[in-house]
Protein backbone atom coordinates (compact mmCIF):
# COMPACT_ATOMS: atom_id res chain seq x y z
CA UNK A 1 0.00 0.00 0.00
CA UNK A 2 1.24 3.45 -0.89
CA UNK A 3 -0.63 6.36 0.63
CA UNK A 4 -0.80 9.67 -1.25
CA UNK A 5 -3.94 11.09 0.37
CA UNK A 6 -2.07 13.29 2.79
CA UNK A 7 -4.06 16.40 1.92
CA UNK A 8 -7.00 14.72 3.66
CA UNK A 9 -4.92 13.65 6.62
CA UNK A 10 -1.27 12.72 6.88
CA UNK A 11 -0.44 9.07 7.36
CA UNK A 12 1.53 7.53 8.91
CA UNK A 13 1.96 9.76 11.94
CA UNK A 14 5.41 10.21 13.44
CA UNK A 15 6.30 7.79 16.25
CA UNK A 16 6.63 10.74 18.62
CA UNK A 17 2.98 11.60 18.03
CA UNK A 18 1.80 8.04 18.55
CA UNK A 19 3.94 7.79 21.70
CA UNK A 20 2.68 11.09 23.02
CA UNK A 21 -0.95 10.15 22.45
CA UNK A 22 -0.46 6.77 24.11
CA UNK A 23 1.33 8.34 27.07
CA UNK A 24 -1.41 10.93 27.41
CA UNK A 25 -4.00 8.15 27.59
CA UNK A 26 -1.92 6.28 30.15
CA UNK A 27 -0.61 9.11 32.30
CA UNK A 28 -2.80 12.18 31.81
CA UNK A 29 -6.15 10.60 32.44
CA UNK A 30 -7.85 13.33 34.45
CA UNK A 31 -9.90 16.24 33.15
CA UNK A 32 -7.64 19.31 32.78
CA UNK A 33 -8.74 22.64 34.22
CA UNK A 34 -11.56 21.17 36.23
CA UNK A 35 -10.28 19.80 39.51
CA UNK A 36 -7.51 20.68 41.93
CA UNK A 37 -6.08 17.20 42.44
CA UNK A 38 -2.62 16.29 41.28
CA UNK A 39 -3.60 14.29 38.22
CA UNK A 40 -5.85 17.04 36.87
CA UNK A 41 -3.10 19.61 37.45
CA UNK A 42 -0.50 17.45 35.71
CA UNK A 43 -2.82 16.93 32.76
CA UNK A 44 -3.47 20.68 32.57
CA UNK A 45 0.27 21.29 32.60
CA UNK A 46 0.89 18.81 29.77
CA UNK A 47 -1.90 20.43 27.78
CA UNK A 48 -0.44 23.86 28.43
CA UNK A 49 3.00 22.79 27.21
CA UNK A 50 1.42 21.55 23.98
CA UNK A 51 -0.53 24.79 23.65
CA UNK A 52 2.70 26.72 24.13
CA UNK A 53 4.38 24.76 21.30
CA UNK A 54 1.46 25.49 18.98
CA UNK A 55 1.47 29.15 19.98
CA UNK A 56 5.22 29.50 19.41
CA UNK A 57 4.84 27.88 16.00
CA UNK A 58 2.42 30.60 14.87
CA UNK A 59 4.09 33.41 16.88
CA UNK A 60 1.03 33.69 19.08
CA UNK A 61 0.17 34.02 22.73
CA UNK A 62 -0.73 30.63 24.30
CA UNK A 63 -3.87 32.13 25.80
CA UNK A 64 -5.04 33.10 22.30
CA UNK A 65 -4.39 29.57 21.02
CA UNK A 66 -7.61 27.56 21.23
CA UNK A 67 -7.82 23.84 20.61
CA UNK A 68 -10.66 22.82 18.31
CA UNK A 69 -11.86 19.56 16.79
CA UNK A 70 -10.48 20.36 13.34
CA UNK A 71 -9.93 23.27 10.97
CA UNK A 72 -13.63 23.44 10.00
CA UNK A 73 -14.54 23.87 13.65
CA UNK A 74 -11.98 26.68 13.99
CA UNK A 75 -13.24 28.38 10.83
CA UNK A 76 -16.83 28.27 12.05
CA UNK A 77 -15.77 29.89 15.32
CA UNK A 78 -13.89 32.60 13.46
CA UNK A 79 -16.37 33.33 10.66
CA UNK A 80 -19.51 33.23 12.76
CA UNK A 81 -17.73 34.88 15.68
CA UNK A 82 -16.63 37.93 13.70
CA UNK A 83 -19.87 38.48 11.82
CA UNK A 84 -22.46 40.94 12.98
CA UNK A 85 -25.69 42.27 11.52
CA UNK A 86 -25.14 43.67 8.02
CA UNK A 87 -21.60 42.31 7.90
CA UNK A 88 -20.15 41.84 4.41
CA UNK A 89 -17.55 39.11 4.02
CA UNK A 90 -15.14 38.69 1.14
CA UNK A 91 -13.92 35.23 0.27
CA UNK A 92 -12.38 33.53 -2.77
CA UNK A 93 -13.78 31.56 -5.67
CA UNK A 94 -11.69 28.48 -4.86
CA UNK A 95 -12.70 27.91 -1.24
CA UNK A 96 -13.21 24.62 0.51
CA UNK A 97 -16.70 24.07 1.89
CA UNK A 98 -15.23 24.64 5.35
CA UNK A 99 -15.19 28.34 4.45
CA UNK A 100 -17.93 28.83 1.89
CA UNK A 101 -20.62 26.91 3.78
CA UNK A 102 -20.38 28.85 7.06
CA UNK A 103 -20.11 32.12 5.11
CA UNK A 104 -23.16 31.21 3.05
CA UNK A 105 -25.07 30.03 6.13
CA UNK A 106 -24.67 33.48 7.68
CA UNK A 107 -26.71 35.01 4.90
CA UNK A 108 -29.70 32.79 5.69
CA UNK A 109 -30.36 33.97 9.23
CA UNK A 110 -29.06 37.51 9.15
CA UNK A 111 -28.50 40.48 6.91
CA UNK A 112 -24.93 39.40 6.22
CA UNK A 113 -23.76 39.26 2.62
CA UNK A 114 -20.68 37.96 0.89
CA UNK A 115 -18.73 38.37 -2.33
CA UNK A 116 -16.28 36.06 -4.03
CA UNK A 117 -13.00 37.38 -5.36
CA UNK A 118 -11.46 35.68 -8.32
CA UNK A 119 -8.10 34.05 -7.65
CA UNK A 120 -5.85 34.77 -10.59
CA UNK A 121 -2.57 33.22 -11.70
CA UNK A 122 -1.24 36.71 -11.19
CA UNK A 123 -1.04 37.86 -7.54
CA UNK A 124 -1.36 41.57 -8.39
CA UNK A 125 -4.62 40.84 -10.13
CA UNK A 126 -5.87 38.77 -7.20
CA UNK A 127 -5.17 41.72 -4.89
CA UNK A 128 -7.01 44.10 -7.20
CA UNK A 129 -9.93 41.69 -7.32
CA UNK A 130 -10.21 41.78 -3.54
CA UNK A 131 -9.81 45.52 -3.24
CA UNK A 132 -12.59 46.28 -5.66
CA UNK A 133 -15.05 44.24 -3.56
CA UNK A 134 -14.46 46.15 -0.32
CA UNK A 135 -17.46 48.20 0.78
CA UNK A 136 -18.14 50.24 3.93
CA UNK A 137 -19.97 47.19 5.28
CA UNK A 138 -17.09 44.78 4.73
CA UNK A 139 -15.97 43.37 8.07
CA UNK A 140 -13.68 40.52 7.09
CA UNK A 141 -11.74 38.76 4.39
CA UNK A 142 -11.56 35.01 4.82
CA UNK A 143 -9.75 32.71 2.45
CA UNK A 144 -7.61 29.67 2.14
CA UNK A 145 -3.83 29.97 2.18
CA UNK A 146 -3.57 27.22 -0.42
CA UNK A 147 -6.11 25.40 -2.55
CA UNK A 148 -6.72 21.81 -1.48
CA UNK A 149 -7.43 20.93 -5.13
CA UNK A 150 -4.61 22.53 -7.10
CA UNK A 151 -2.16 23.50 -4.37
CA UNK A 152 -2.14 27.10 -5.55
CA UNK A 153 -0.81 29.36 -2.83
CA UNK A 154 -2.66 32.63 -2.41
CA UNK A 155 -0.69 35.83 -1.71
CA UNK A 156 -1.80 35.72 1.92
CA UNK A 157 0.86 38.13 3.18
CA UNK A 158 -0.25 40.77 0.73
CA UNK A 159 -3.90 40.12 1.51
CA UNK A 160 -3.02 40.55 5.20
CA UNK A 161 -1.32 43.84 4.43
CA UNK A 162 -4.35 45.03 2.47
CA UNK A 163 -6.69 44.07 5.34
CA UNK A 164 -4.51 45.85 7.87
CA UNK A 165 -4.55 48.99 5.72
CA UNK A 166 -8.32 48.85 5.27
CA UNK A 167 -8.98 47.85 8.89
CA UNK A 168 -10.59 44.53 8.01
CA UNK A 169 -10.33 41.31 9.96
CA UNK A 170 -8.30 38.75 8.03
CA UNK A 171 -9.09 35.09 8.69
CA UNK A 172 -6.81 32.55 7.05
CA UNK A 173 -7.63 28.87 6.49
CA UNK A 174 -4.25 27.17 6.68
CA UNK A 175 -5.50 23.58 6.45
CA UNK A 176 -3.35 22.77 3.42
CA UNK A 177 -0.45 25.09 4.12
CA UNK A 178 0.56 24.95 7.77
CA UNK A 179 3.61 22.80 8.34
CA UNK A 180 4.70 23.52 4.76
CA UNK A 181 4.71 27.30 4.63
CA UNK A 182 5.90 29.41 7.57
CA UNK A 183 2.61 31.20 8.25
CA UNK A 184 2.49 33.26 11.45
CA UNK A 185 0.47 36.09 12.97
CA UNK A 186 3.31 38.38 11.89
CA UNK A 187 1.89 38.13 8.36
CA UNK A 188 -0.90 40.57 9.30
CA UNK A 189 -3.32 37.73 9.90
CA UNK A 190 -5.85 38.30 12.67
CA UNK A 191 -7.13 34.75 12.96
CA UNK A 192 -5.33 31.60 11.82
CA UNK A 193 -7.36 28.41 11.55
CA UNK A 194 -5.32 25.25 11.27
CA UNK A 195 -5.89 21.52 10.96
CA UNK A 196 -3.89 19.59 13.51
CA UNK A 197 -3.91 16.33 11.60
CA UNK A 198 -2.45 17.35 8.24
CA UNK A 199 0.85 19.22 7.90
CA UNK A 200 1.24 19.41 11.67
CA UNK A 201 1.13 15.59 11.91
CA UNK A 202 -1.17 15.49 14.93
CA UNK A 203 -4.04 13.04 15.38
CA UNK A 204 -7.36 13.40 13.59
CA UNK A 205 -9.87 15.30 15.69
CA UNK A 206 -7.47 18.16 16.37
CA UNK A 207 -7.38 21.72 15.10
CA UNK A 208 -6.44 25.16 16.35
CA UNK A 209 -7.87 28.65 16.21
CA UNK A 210 -5.29 31.33 16.90
CA UNK A 211 -6.10 34.99 17.22
CA UNK A 212 -4.09 38.12 17.68
CA UNK A 213 -6.76 39.36 20.09
CA UNK A 214 -7.63 42.42 18.00
CA UNK A 215 -11.18 41.36 17.14
CA UNK A 216 -13.52 40.10 19.86
CA UNK A 217 -15.42 37.04 18.70
CA UNK A 218 -18.94 35.92 19.52
CA UNK A 219 -19.44 32.33 20.57
CA UNK A 220 -21.10 29.36 18.91
CA UNK A 221 -20.95 27.03 21.87
CA UNK A 222 -21.30 27.95 25.52
CA UNK A 223 -20.80 25.79 28.57
CA UNK A 224 -18.49 24.71 31.35
CA UNK A 225 -14.92 25.91 31.26
CA UNK A 226 -13.74 25.30 34.81
CA UNK A 227 -13.36 29.06 35.23
CA UNK A 228 -15.53 31.97 36.38
CA UNK A 229 -18.13 29.34 37.25
CA UNK A 230 -20.47 31.62 39.20
CA UNK A 231 -21.06 33.82 36.16
CA UNK A 232 -23.96 32.95 33.85
CA UNK A 233 -22.11 34.58 30.95
CA UNK A 234 -19.54 32.70 28.90
CA UNK A 235 -16.02 33.86 29.87
CA UNK A 236 -14.72 36.66 27.69
CA UNK A 237 -11.13 35.48 27.98
CA UNK A 238 -9.41 32.93 25.78
CA UNK A 239 -8.87 30.04 25.44
CA UNK A 240 -11.78 29.26 27.82
CA UNK A 241 -14.25 31.24 25.71
CA UNK A 242 -13.85 28.69 22.92
CA UNK A 243 -13.10 25.55 24.87
CA UNK A 244 -16.35 24.70 26.62
CA UNK A 245 -16.71 21.08 27.59
CA UNK A 246 -13.95 18.54 27.86
CA UNK A 247 -11.53 18.89 25.01
CA UNK A 248 -9.74 16.10 23.14
CA UNK A 249 -6.90 16.14 25.65
CA UNK A 250 -4.80 13.20 24.35
CA UNK A 251 -5.19 14.56 20.82
CA UNK A 252 -4.22 18.09 21.81
CA UNK A 253 -1.17 16.84 23.74
CA UNK A 254 -0.12 14.70 20.76
CA UNK A 255 -0.61 17.68 18.45
CA UNK A 256 2.16 19.40 20.40
CA UNK A 257 4.39 16.43 19.57
CA UNK A 258 3.41 16.81 15.91
CA UNK A 259 4.36 20.48 15.91
CA UNK A 260 7.66 19.60 17.59
CA UNK A 261 8.29 17.00 14.86
CA UNK A 262 7.71 19.62 12.14
CA UNK A 263 9.94 22.17 13.87
CA UNK A 264 12.77 19.63 14.28
CA UNK A 265 12.47 18.45 10.71
CA UNK A 266 12.25 22.01 9.41
CA UNK A 267 9.34 23.45 7.44
CA UNK A 268 11.64 24.38 4.55
CA UNK A 269 13.02 20.86 4.33
CA UNK A 270 9.60 19.26 4.45
CA UNK A 271 8.35 21.62 1.73
CA UNK A 272 11.41 20.99 -0.43
CA UNK A 273 11.09 17.22 -0.07
CA UNK A 274 7.41 17.12 -0.98
CA UNK A 275 7.78 19.57 -3.86
CA UNK A 276 10.59 17.41 -5.23
CA UNK A 277 8.27 14.41 -5.12
CA UNK A 278 5.63 16.39 -7.03
CA UNK A 279 8.24 17.43 -9.58
CA UNK A 280 9.31 13.81 -10.08
CA UNK A 281 5.66 12.81 -10.40
CA UNK A 282 5.10 15.41 -13.13
CA UNK A 283 8.35 14.67 -14.95
CA UNK A 284 7.71 10.96 -15.12
CA UNK A 285 4.25 11.51 -16.55
CA UNK A 286 5.47 13.90 -19.20
CA UNK A 287 4.51 12.60 -22.60
CA UNK A 288 1.78 10.40 -21.14
CA UNK A 289 -1.18 11.72 -23.07
CA UNK A 290 -3.69 9.75 -21.07
CA UNK A 291 -2.87 11.57 -17.85
CA UNK A 292 -4.40 15.03 -17.65
CA UNK A 293 -2.63 17.45 -15.32
CA UNK A 294 -4.12 20.82 -14.39
CA UNK A 295 -0.94 22.64 -13.40
CA UNK A 296 -1.02 25.19 -16.20
CA UNK A 297 -4.17 26.74 -14.76
CA UNK A 298 -2.56 27.99 -11.57
CA UNK A 299 0.23 30.35 -10.56
CA UNK A 300 3.79 29.36 -9.72
CA UNK A 301 3.47 29.56 -5.95
CA UNK A 302 2.03 26.35 -4.67
CA UNK A 303 2.04 23.64 -2.03
CA UNK A 304 2.67 19.97 -2.85
CA UNK A 305 -0.72 18.92 -4.21
CA UNK A 306 -1.29 17.86 -7.83
CA UNK A 307 -4.70 17.25 -9.39
CA UNK A 308 -4.95 14.93 -12.35
CA UNK A 309 -7.31 12.63 -14.22
CA UNK A 310 -6.97 9.49 -16.28
CA UNK A 311 -8.39 10.08 -19.72
CA UNK A 312 -11.76 8.50 -20.27
CA UNK A 313 -12.45 7.91 -16.59
CA UNK A 314 -14.14 10.02 -13.99
CA UNK A 315 -12.04 10.67 -10.93
CA UNK A 316 -13.92 8.31 -8.58
CA UNK A 317 -13.47 5.38 -10.95
CA UNK A 318 -9.85 6.36 -11.44
CA UNK A 319 -9.22 6.52 -7.69
CA UNK A 320 -11.01 3.17 -7.22
CA UNK A 321 -8.79 1.56 -9.87
CA UNK A 322 -5.70 2.96 -8.17
CA UNK A 323 -6.93 1.76 -4.80
CA UNK A 324 -7.44 -1.77 -6.06
CA UNK A 325 -3.80 -1.69 -7.16
CA UNK A 326 -2.51 -0.47 -3.81
CA UNK A 327 -2.30 3.29 -4.43
CA UNK A 328 -4.45 5.32 -2.06
CA UNK A 329 -5.50 8.69 -3.46
CA UNK A 330 -8.72 10.65 -3.27
CA UNK A 331 -10.97 11.27 -6.24
CA UNK A 332 -13.98 13.58 -6.47
CA UNK A 333 -14.55 17.20 -5.60
CA UNK A 334 -12.52 17.24 -2.36
CA UNK A 335 -15.28 19.26 -0.62
CA UNK A 336 -14.31 22.20 -2.82
CA UNK A 337 -16.87 22.51 -5.60
CA UNK A 338 -15.89 26.16 -6.17
CA UNK A 339 -12.33 25.22 -7.04
CA UNK A 340 -13.54 22.49 -9.40
CA UNK A 341 -15.97 24.87 -11.07
CA UNK A 342 -13.08 27.19 -11.72
CA UNK A 343 -10.83 24.39 -12.90
CA UNK A 344 -13.52 23.08 -15.25
CA UNK A 345 -13.66 19.72 -13.48
CA UNK A 346 -17.01 20.03 -11.72
CA UNK A 347 -18.41 17.11 -13.76
CA UNK A 348 -15.52 14.69 -13.37
CA UNK A 349 -13.72 15.83 -10.25
CA UNK A 350 -10.00 15.07 -10.09
CA UNK A 351 -7.69 12.57 -8.49
CA UNK A 352 -5.48 14.30 -5.98
CA UNK A 353 -1.84 13.36 -5.51
CA UNK A 354 -0.66 14.69 -2.16
CA UNK A 355 2.63 13.37 -0.78
CA UNK A 356 3.90 13.90 2.76
CA UNK A 357 7.17 13.79 4.59
CA UNK A 358 7.35 9.97 4.76
CA UNK A 359 6.80 9.37 1.03
CA UNK A 360 9.86 8.44 -1.01
CA UNK A 361 11.07 8.87 -4.58
CA UNK A 362 10.90 5.09 -4.98
CA UNK A 363 7.18 5.23 -4.24
CA UNK A 364 6.72 7.91 -6.89
CA UNK A 365 8.52 5.69 -9.39
CA UNK A 366 6.31 2.75 -8.53
CA UNK A 367 3.20 4.88 -8.89
CA UNK A 368 4.18 6.58 -12.13
CA UNK A 369 5.33 3.24 -13.61
CA UNK A 370 1.85 1.94 -12.92
CA UNK A 371 0.19 4.99 -14.50
CA UNK A 372 2.43 4.80 -17.54
CA UNK A 373 1.75 1.06 -18.00
CA UNK A 374 -1.96 1.67 -17.58
CA UNK A 375 -1.92 4.29 -20.30
CA UNK A 376 -0.30 1.89 -22.76
CA UNK A 377 -3.13 -0.61 -22.42
CA UNK B 1 7.47 34.43 54.53
CA UNK B 2 3.77 33.74 54.11
CA UNK B 3 2.60 32.33 50.86
CA UNK B 4 -0.05 34.13 48.88
CA UNK B 5 -2.44 32.98 46.24
CA UNK B 6 -2.88 35.12 43.16
CA UNK B 7 -6.06 34.45 41.25
CA UNK B 8 -5.65 33.89 37.51
CA UNK B 9 -8.30 34.02 34.79
CA UNK B 10 -7.85 30.41 33.75
CA UNK B 11 -5.74 27.32 34.25
CA UNK B 12 -3.95 28.24 31.00
CA UNK B 13 -3.03 31.64 32.37
CA UNK B 14 -1.97 30.07 35.68
CA UNK B 15 0.34 27.63 33.87
CA UNK B 16 1.70 30.44 31.73
CA UNK B 17 2.41 32.54 34.82
CA UNK B 18 4.07 29.59 36.55
CA UNK B 19 6.33 28.92 33.57
CA UNK B 20 7.24 32.59 33.26
CA UNK B 21 8.13 32.83 36.92
CA UNK B 22 10.08 29.55 36.84
CA UNK B 23 12.23 30.99 34.04
CA UNK B 24 13.04 33.79 36.50
CA UNK B 25 13.74 31.32 39.29
CA UNK B 26 10.62 32.15 41.22
CA UNK B 27 8.77 29.13 42.47
CA UNK B 28 5.01 29.12 42.03
CA UNK B 29 2.43 26.36 42.14
CA UNK B 30 -0.90 26.23 40.36
CA UNK B 31 -3.90 25.76 42.64
CA UNK B 32 -7.60 25.34 42.24
CA UNK B 33 -9.68 28.11 43.81
CA UNK B 34 -13.35 28.21 44.68
CA UNK B 35 -14.69 31.51 45.89
CA UNK B 36 -18.15 33.05 46.17
CA UNK B 37 -16.99 36.00 44.07
CA UNK B 38 -15.43 34.29 41.11
CA UNK B 39 -16.74 30.74 41.37
CA UNK B 40 -14.28 28.05 40.34
CA UNK B 41 -10.98 29.09 38.94
CA UNK B 42 -7.24 28.80 39.27
CA UNK B 43 -4.44 30.73 40.86
CA UNK B 44 -0.75 30.57 41.54
CA UNK B 45 0.67 30.30 45.02
CA UNK B 46 3.87 32.24 45.53
CA UNK B 47 6.25 33.05 48.34
CA UNK B 48 7.68 36.51 48.22
CA UNK B 49 6.83 40.05 47.35
CA UNK B 50 3.47 39.75 45.61
CA UNK B 51 3.55 43.31 44.31
CA UNK B 52 6.89 42.63 42.65
CA UNK B 53 5.63 39.34 41.21
CA UNK B 54 2.51 41.04 39.86
CA UNK B 55 4.67 43.70 38.25
CA UNK B 56 6.66 40.95 36.55
CA UNK B 57 3.51 39.20 35.37
CA UNK B 58 2.27 42.49 33.92
CA UNK B 59 5.19 42.23 31.45
CA UNK B 60 3.34 39.34 29.82
CA UNK B 61 -0.07 40.98 30.16
CA UNK B 62 -1.18 39.00 33.17
CA UNK B 63 -2.92 41.29 35.59
CA UNK B 64 -3.24 40.80 39.33
CA UNK B 65 -5.64 43.00 41.27
CA UNK B 66 -8.84 43.78 39.46
CA UNK B 67 -8.79 40.68 37.32
CA UNK B 68 -7.10 38.52 39.87
CA UNK B 69 -7.66 38.51 43.63
CA UNK B 70 -4.73 38.13 45.93
CA UNK B 71 -5.36 36.30 49.14
CA UNK B 72 -3.56 34.36 51.82
| Nearest Cβ partner for B10 among A35, A227, A230 | A227
pLDDT at B24: 95
Q: Is B40 on the interface with A (CB under 8 A)?
A: yes
Find the mean pLDDT for residues B35-44.
85
pLDDT at B70: 45
User: What does each C-alpha distance from B26 to A47, A300, B20, B45 come to in angstroms?
Assistant: 22, 51, 9, 11
Per the CB < 8 Å rule, is A231 touching B16?
A: no
**Is-contact A218 A81, C-beta < 8 A?**
yes
pLDDT at A347: 95
State the pLDDT confidence band at B71, using cuts at 50, 70 and 90: very low
pLDDT at B72: 40
Q: Is A234 on the interface with B (CB under 8 A)?
A: no
Find the mean pLDDT for residues B49-68.
84
Q: Is B45 on the interface with A (CB under 8 A)?
A: no
Three-state DSSP class for A210?
A: strand
Contacts of B17 in chain A (CB under 8 A): none
Per the CB < 8 Å rule, is B12 touching A41?
A: no
Q: Is B3 on the interface with A (CB under 8 A)?
A: no
Q: Is B43 on the interface with A (CB under 8 A)?
A: no
**Is-contact B23 B30, C-beta < 8 A?**
no
Using CA atoms, how far apart are residues A352 and A328, in angstroms rounded to an integer? Answer: 10
Q: Is A230 on the interface with B (CB under 8 A)?
A: yes
| Nearest Cβ partner for A227 among B31, B37, B41 | B41
**Beta-bridge partners for A193:** A173, A209
pLDDT at A279: 95
Using CA atoms, how far apart are residues A34 and A223, in angstroms rounded to an integer? Answer: 13
Per the CB < 8 Å rule, is A63 touching B38?
A: no
pLDDT tens-digit readout, A7-27: 999 999 999 999 999 999 999
Q: Is A41 on the interface with B (CB under 8 A)?
A: yes
Residues of chain A with pLDDT under 70: none
Q: Is A118 on the interface with B (CB under 8 A)?
A: no
pLDDT at B68: 46
pLDDT at B66: 44
State the pLDDT confidence band at B67, using cuts at 50, 70 and 90: very low
pLDDT at A295: 82
pLDDT tens-digit readout, A19-64: 999 999 999 999 999 999 999 999 999 999 999 999 999 999 999 9
pLDDT at A355: 98
pLDDT at A250: 98
User: What does each C-alpha distance from A266 to A202, A289, A316 come to in angstroms?
Assistant: 16, 37, 35
Which of A115, A116, A124 minimizes the C-alpha distance to A299? A124
pLDDT at B1: 66
**CA distance, residue A229 to nearest chain B CA (Å):** 5
Per the CB < 8 Å rule, is A226 touching B12?
A: no
Which of A111, A94, A113, A93 minimizes the C-alpha distance to A103? A113
DSSP per-residue string spanning A337-371: HHHHHHHT-TTT-EEEEB--TT--HHHHHHHHHHH
Per the CB < 8 Å rule, is A230 touching B16?
A: no
**CA distance, residue A203 to nearest chain B CA (Å):** 22
Per the CB < 8 Å rule, is A48 touching B36?
A: no
> Between chain A and chain B, how many beta carbons pairs sit less than 8 Å apart?
69
| Nearest Cβ partner for B40 among A62, A229, A239 | A229
| Nearest Cβ partner for A228 among B30, B36, B38 | B38
Per the CB < 8 Å rule, is B39 touching A230?
A: yes
Q: What is the pTM of this model?
A: 0.95
Using CA atoms, how far apart are residues A279 and A355, in angstroms rounded to an integer? Answer: 11
ipTM metric: 0.88
DSSP per-residue string spanning B5-72: EEEESSHHHHHHHHHHHHHTT--EEEEEEEETTTEEEEEEEEES-HHHHHHHHHTTT---TTSS-EE-
pLDDT at B69: 44
pLDDT at B36: 74
Using CA atoms, how far apart are residues A154 and A124, in angstroms rounded to an integer? Answer: 11
Per the CB < 8 Å rule, is B30 touching A35?
A: no
Amino acid sequence: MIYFDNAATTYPKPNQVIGSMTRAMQIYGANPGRAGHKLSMETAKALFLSRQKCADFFHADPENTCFTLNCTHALNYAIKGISHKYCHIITSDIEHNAVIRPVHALTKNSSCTYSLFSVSKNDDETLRNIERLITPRTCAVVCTAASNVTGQLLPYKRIGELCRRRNLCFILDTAQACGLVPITLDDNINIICAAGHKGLYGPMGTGIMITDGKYPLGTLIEGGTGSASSDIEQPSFLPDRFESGTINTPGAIALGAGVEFVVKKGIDKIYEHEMKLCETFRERLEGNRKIILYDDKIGENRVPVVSFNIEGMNSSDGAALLSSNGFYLRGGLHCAFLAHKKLGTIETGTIRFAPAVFNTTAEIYEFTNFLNKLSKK
Amino acid sequence: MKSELIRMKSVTQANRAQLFLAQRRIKASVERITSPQGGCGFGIRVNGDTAKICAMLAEINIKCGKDGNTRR
